[in-house]
Amino acid sequence: MQRFLDPAVLAGISSLDLLAKTVVDGFVAGLHRSPDFGFSQEFAEYRAYTPGDDLRHVDWNLFARTERCYLKRYRGETNSQLTVLLDASNSMRYTSGPPIKMDYARFIAAALFYLAIRNQRDAAGLIVFDDEVREYIRPSTRPGQLARLFAGLEQAMPHARTDFAKPLKHFQSSLHRRGIAIVISDFYEDPETIVQNIAPLRFHGNEVILFHILDPQEIRPVLKGSAILVDLETDQKIEVVPEYAKTRYRAKIDAHVEQLRTRTRAAGMDYQLLVTDQPLDLALREYLTLRQAGN
Amino acid sequence: MGFLAPWFLVGLAALGVPVFVHLLKRHVTTPRPVSSLMFFERGTQSSTRHRRLKYLLLFALRSALVLLAVLAFANPFVRRAANDAGGRLLLIVLDNSFSMRAGSRFADAKKQALATLAAKPHGEKAQIMVLGGQFEILSQPTADDTKLRAALESIQPGDGHADFGEMGRAMRTLADTVRVPNDLHLFSDMQRTAMPANFADVVLPANATLTLHPVGQVPAPPNWTIESVEAPSQLSDPKDLKRSRVRAVVAGFGTPAATKSVSLVVNGKTIATRKVNVPAGGRATVEFAPLDLGYGFNRCAVRVEGSDAFPADDARVFTVRRSDPERVLFVHAASDTRSSTYFGAALEAGTQNAFVMQSMPQEETSDIDPSRFAFVVLSDTAALPSIFEHTLAQYVAKGGSVLIALGAGAAHHTPIPLWGAEVRDAHNYARTGNAASMGQVDFGYPALEQAQPERDNGGWAEVKVFYAALVDPEHARVVARLADGTPLLFDKQLGEGHVVLFASGLENLTNDLPLHPVFVAFVDHAARYLSGDERLSGSKLVDSFVQLRSTTEPVGTVANVEVIDPRGQRPLSLSEARMAQTIRLAHAGFYQIRLANGRDTLIGVNPDSRESNLEPLPKDLQQLWSGSASGGGTQTAGTISNEANYRPLSLWWYVMLLALVTAFAEIAVAGRYMGTQREAL
């Protein structure tokens, strides 16, 4: 099934629905776990009683046997709420080979929506943004939500520049329930600014994951000769020599990724670098792990 | 240094193309998109300089390629000294014409030529040529002094007539193949008579420089000579004073008035001597009559006595054949009695009894051997006895000749004996009342020969033809036609002999030719032509040709010819004796020839009388000639202009080779550069 998770193969599938189903079914089959994992009431742990605890949760059978008062804890029955913030700026159009970064981000979002709604019964919503909020689909579990989300993804065309401040402010204002927020972007911004804009999401108890989408050529660029490079967002042009791309650029991008990882984790967020030639299961696994840990 | 085609240098304007491409036109590269330039920095100066250096190399190569291509078309050359091997060609032309026998002219000329050859720079090529009679090239261009000297030493004085016009034509022809500059050195007595009437004939090609080396005394010494001799080639009756006489013209060139003794020498014996007064630089005629000669060929000469500057031209030779009158067989139809009468009378009157006609009807010819007759006449013969026709065909094949006159009965017996064709039709002009007149007459044909025909078509204009057979000429030569174009007189060669066909009759019924004086001349000339006497004796000039065998005869089917020249040598090899059609009479004296048809002949050969005039070309004319050959400058012996010391050496090959190397380098450099661009994109 790994073959179906290869981004190059997925790029040939036009339907996001089919794509998400292919990815998620293949991913779930590989887990060797029940697809209902974490859904029904399930014992989680015992905890010593402290004054003020609800007596309904005391395990009286245990008290009868041991004369000690313990509270029996279960996994929550309430569904989680998934919100994907998708960066649709011009820089997401870049590619050195199929798929383009934007498509790769769409695949991840579609697979997450499918996994959340169909498998986990979670509410899922979408915010597409660049320097403005282009699309907002409120998280919901209503029938047809998945189709709306897929339609929102289909319509998300990259343009303009990235600005994290405005869309995140909009997200905070519309957030009423705690849940999981996943930001999918290439994060061409100062890590400090990124964390500064995203960190407030954590204040409402949200779990925040940053999926950093990069093309292999953006990590290890190869230039055979001097070339004129054009910034997709600003149209600025500069002449670059191969020696620079081979040495200093790599050091800079590595430092950027490392700084982003360090700062986001320091701010209590998860960070995952996703290269467009990697399978999508890495992103799905990250989501499920976080959901399990948070609930 | 210069350019052979400098106008191609206009192509240097093409140098602007690489200048525009490399310096004026901005280099266009397709920009490469990236997500962000956040982590990129501009390339350093050192890298840019490296790339521009590569551009400059390409620019330099392309500019050099254009420059070299233009230079190659302009064909640059450098001047190199001409004394290197193969630079110039030295042409030594030695005149060995008959006049060079006078005094020490030939020896002096040869000595000067050898000296010129010895002074030639070592390694320079030279060529030896001979002017006299025919212009001959004795050696190929070579730097081998031994060969050149041997070729020059082998030249002996000849008997021919020099013609500077022929030398000019030969040099112009040579210039088409030999492009290198020529230094032409002419060693000659520079006779005025060797110069053609048209000066353009002697103009040499542009690459030739003429240097004249005149020899002989100036002014020319006085010289008496026998300019011409008029004598019969054949004599049957020595007492016939009309024919039995020799008339010679004595000419003096640069001579004072003098009384000269002129002798007639026959077979080595002086049989008569006459005194004649020759005016200063003029001519006088002397006559010897009658000729008392023995039977057979007689070697005769007319000699002017007394010493002068050029004794070799004091005598003029000729041959006279003394024989009994030859018999002519006249075959006619039984009913035709007039033609023999007219023809016999004309033959007797025209040939002064040189021929005796034997007339007989065609039915009586069965036992006749034609070979005993000088020629045969068939007049209006319907059907010859087959045995006679057969022997007659053999007779013609071996060299005999037949005159056929078709007569009034031609239309009734269409096959023409011996001729191999039929009478197609007949024109009976008498019926229409308008007799046909003569149209075209070939006066160059021996039987119709007239040196200066009168305006009345040489006497033929008044001849009226009432009846003429219509015969297809096919391979025969038509020598006379009627006014309406009907062929009247044909000549066809069969084997070694000739058949002459007259499409009308020899009587006065079919035409009135026998009634006109021109008939006598026609019969006389035709008889001599058909009998072959004209070829058997008499005199000719040096360098004229004698036909040895029929041109139509297949090679190898007849006997060898035999030629003995005046020196007693056989000039023809065995193979040439079997195959040669003609022979050139190269030497003065008596040629003894046995022709392919078995008949013997003796011919006296004399040098061209113009060779006796030793007067040289005027100095100004010599200077004009040598000046015209060197492009305007006057050349004298021993001086060669500075321009001639150099010759252009074309650098075309070197430039093209360099251009080729540059082109490959440009391809390699441009390929590397463009290849890098493609990969980067």
Q: Do residue A97 and residue A206 come from a single domain? A: yes
Q: Do residue A63 and residue A197 come from a single domain? A: no
What residue type is assigned to position B395 of the chain? Y
- Give the residue among B25, B16, B29 at the shortest CA–CA distance from B674: B29
Structure-block tokens of residue B598? 């078995």
B475 pLDDT tier (thresholds 50, 70, 90): confident
> Which secondary-structure segment (H or E) carries A60?
helix A60-66
pTM confidence score: 0.52
Q: Which regions of chain B carry the CATH code 3.40.50.880?
A: 326-534
Q: Do residue A110 and residue A228 come from a single domain? A: yes
Q: Do residue A14 and residue A65 come from a single domain? A: no
Q: Do residue A151 and residue A84 come from a single domain? A: yes
Model confidence over B566-596: pLDDT tens digits?
Answer: 989 898 888 888 888 888 888 899 999 888 7
Rounded to the nearest angstrom, the minimum Cα separation between B39 and chain A is 6
Most confident of A226-235, A253-262, B217-226, B525-534: A253-262
Contact status of B28 with chain A (Cβ, < 8 Å): no
Going along B333-396, which residue ranges are E strands?
A: 355-361, 375-379
> Taking the alpha carbons of A112, A114, A120, A124 in that order, is the dihedral positive or negative?
positive
Q: Do residue A115 and residue A48 come from a single domain? A: no
Domain range for A47: 43-74
Strand partners, B182: B89, B208
Q: Do residue A87 and residue A117 come from a single domain? A: yes
Query: What mean pLDDT comes out for the span B180-201?
Result: 87
Helix (H, G, I), strand (E, B) or coil at A2: helix
Contact status of A202 with chain B (Cβ, < 8 Å): no
Contact state of B43 with A226 under an 8 Å Cβ cutoff: yes
Contact state of A248 with B41 under an 8 Å Cβ cutoff: yes
Contact state of B680 with A237 under an 8 Å Cβ cutoff: no
Contact state of B38 with A188 under an 8 Å Cβ cutoff: yes
B263 pLDDT tier (thresholds 50, 70, 90): very high
Contact state of A245 with B42 under an 8 Å Cβ cutoff: no
Closest residue of B to A244, CA-based?
Answer: B43
Contact state of B40 with A256 under an 8 Å Cβ cutoff: no
Q: Do residue A110 and residue A222 come from a single domain? A: yes
Percent of chain B predicted with pLDDT > 70: 89
Q: What is the second-level CATH architecture of the domain B89-220+619-648?
A: 3-Layer(aba) Sandwich (3.40)
Which residues in chain B touch residue A239, judged by CB atoms under 8 angstroms apart? 42-43, 48
Closest residue of B to A243, CA-based?
Answer: B43
Q: Characterize the bridge pairing of strands B296-304 and B315-322.
A: antiparallel
Structure-block tokens of residue B609? 């009388």
Q: Characterize the bridge pairing of strands A207-214 and B562-564.
A: unpaired
Query: What mean pLDDT comes out for the span B343-367?
Result: 85
> Taking the alpha carbons of A220, A222, A226, A232 in that order, is the dihedral positive or negative?
negative
Nearest to B34 among A94, A252, A256 (CB): A94
Nearest to B33 among A225, A230, A239 (CB): A230
Domain count, chain A: 2
Which residues in chain A touch residue B34, judged by CB atoms under 8 angstroms apart? 94, 218, 221, 229-232
How far apart are the C-alpha atoms of B364 and B428, rounded to whole Å? 30
Contact status of B47 with chain A (Cβ, < 8 Å): yes
CA atoms within 13 A on the CB side of A235: 2
CB A127 within 8 A of CB A86: yes
Q: What is the domain-level CATH number for residue A17?
A: 3.40.50.410
B403 pLDDT tier (thresholds 50, 70, 90): very high
Rounded to the nearest angstrom, the minimum Cα separation between A219 and chain B is 11
Rounded to the nearest angstrom, the minimum Cα separation between A41 and chain B is 47
Q: Do residue A158 and residue A24 come from a single domain? A: yes
Q: Do residue A57 and residue A164 come from a single domain? A: no
Q: What are phi and psi of B88, to 5 degrees?
A: -125, 160
Q: Characterize the bridge pairing of strands B283-288 and B76-81.
A: unpaired
Q: What is the DSSP string of B347-364?
A: HHHHHTTSEEEEEEEGGG
Contact status of B37 with chain A (Cβ, < 8 Å): yes
Model confidence over B230-261: pLDDT tens digits?
Answer: 888 888 788 877 778 889 999 988 888 888 89
Contact status of A247 with chain B (Cβ, < 8 Å): no
For residue A295, the model assigns a pLDDT of 42
> Taking the alpha carbons of A141, A146, A149, A151 in that order, is the dihedral positive or negative?
negative
How far apart are the C-alpha atoms of A158 and A162, rounded to whole Å? 10
Percent of chain B predicted with pLDDT > 90: 17
Strand partners, A275: A214
Q: Which strands form B589-594's sheet, in the order they lie side by side? A: B539-541, B600-606, B589-594, B562-564
Residue entry with tokens 């967002």: A233
Contact status of A187 with chain B (Cβ, < 8 Å): no
Q: Characterize the bridge pairing of strands A270-275 and A43-48.
A: unpaired
CB B501 within 8 A of CB B455: no
Mean pLDDT of chain B: 83
Q: Which regions of chain B carry the CATH code 2.60.40.10?
A: 232-322
Closest residue of A to B28, CA-based?
Answer: A228
Rounded to the nearest angstrom, the minimum Cα separation between B663 and chain A is 25
Contact status of B1 with chain A (Cβ, < 8 Å): no
Mean pLDDT lowest among A38-42, B147-151, B246-250: A38-42
For residue A79, the model assigns a pLDDT of 61
Q: Do residue A85 and residue A207 come from a single domain? A: yes
User: CB contacts < 8 Å between A and B, how many?
Assistant: 88
Which residues in chain B touch residue A229, judged by CB atoms under 8 angstroms apart? 31-34, 37, 40
How far apart are the C-alpha atoms of B514 and B345, rounded to whole Å? 10
User: What CATH class has B232-322?
Assistant: mainly beta
Query: What mean pLDDT comes out for the span A66-79?
Result: 73
For residue B372, the model assigns a pLDDT of 87
Contact state of B35 with A239 under an 8 Å Cβ cutoff: no
Contact status of B177 with chain A (Cβ, < 8 Å): no
Domain end residue (candidates: A56, A74, A92): A74
Contact status of B50 with chain A (Cβ, < 8 Å): no
- Who contacts B519 (Cβ-Cβ below 8 Å, separation ≥6)? B342, B346, B513
Q: Which regions of chain B carry the CATH code 3.40.50.410?
A: 89-220+619-648
Q: How far is CA B307 from the centre of its chain?
A: 36
For residue B47, the model assigns a pLDDT of 43
Contact status of B32 with chain A (Cβ, < 8 Å): yes
End-to-end alpha carbon distance in chain A: 29
Q: How high is the ipTM of this complex?
A: 0.75
Q: What are phi and psi of A2, to 5 degrees?
A: -55, -30
Q: Is B568 exposed, middle or buried (0-12, 13-18, 19+ CB in 10 A)?
A: exposed
Nearest to B676 among A224, A230, A234 (CB): A224
Q: Which of A222, A229, A248, A252 to mutate to test the interface with B (most CBs of B within 10 A)?
A: A229
Structure-block tokens of residue B436? 């046909």
Q: Do residue A120 and residue A152 come from a single domain? A: yes
DSSP state of B28: P
Contact status of B40 with chain A (Cβ, < 8 Å): yes
- Who contacts B233 (Cβ-Cβ below 8 Å, separation ≥6)? B318, B319, B320, B321, B533, B534, B536, B537, B538
Residue A85's alpha-carbon distances to A113, A134, A136, A137, A264, in angstroms, are: 12, 11, 9, 10, 16
Contact state of A231 with B42 under an 8 Å Cβ cutoff: no
Q: What is the DSSP string of A244-264?
A: HHHTHHHHHHHHHHHHHHHHH
Contact state of B39 with A256 under an 8 Å Cβ cutoff: yes
Model confidence over B551-560: pLDDT tens digits?
Answer: 555 544 557 8
Counted residue by residue, chain B has a size of: 681
Which residues in chain B touch residue A101, judged by CB atoms under 8 angstroms apart? 35
Q: Is A183 exposed, middle or buried (0-12, 13-18, 19+ CB in 10 A)?
A: buried
Q: Which of A102, A194, A215, A226 to mutate to test the interface with B (most CBs of B within 10 A)?
A: A226
- The interface residues of chain B toward chain A in range 626-665, judged by CB-CB distance below 8 A, are none
> B326-534: which CATH topology?
Rossmann fold (3.40.50)
For residue B413, the model assigns a pLDDT of 64
- Who contacts B331 (Cβ-Cβ below 8 Å, separation ≥6)? B359, B360, B361, B362, B365, B376, B377, B378, B379, B381, B384
Model confidence over B655-665: pLDDT tens digits?
Answer: 999 999 999 99
Contact status of A237 with chain B (Cβ, < 8 Å): yes
Contact state of A226 with B48 under an 8 Å Cβ cutoff: yes
Which residues in chain A touch residue B32, judged by CB atoms under 8 angstroms apart? 227-230
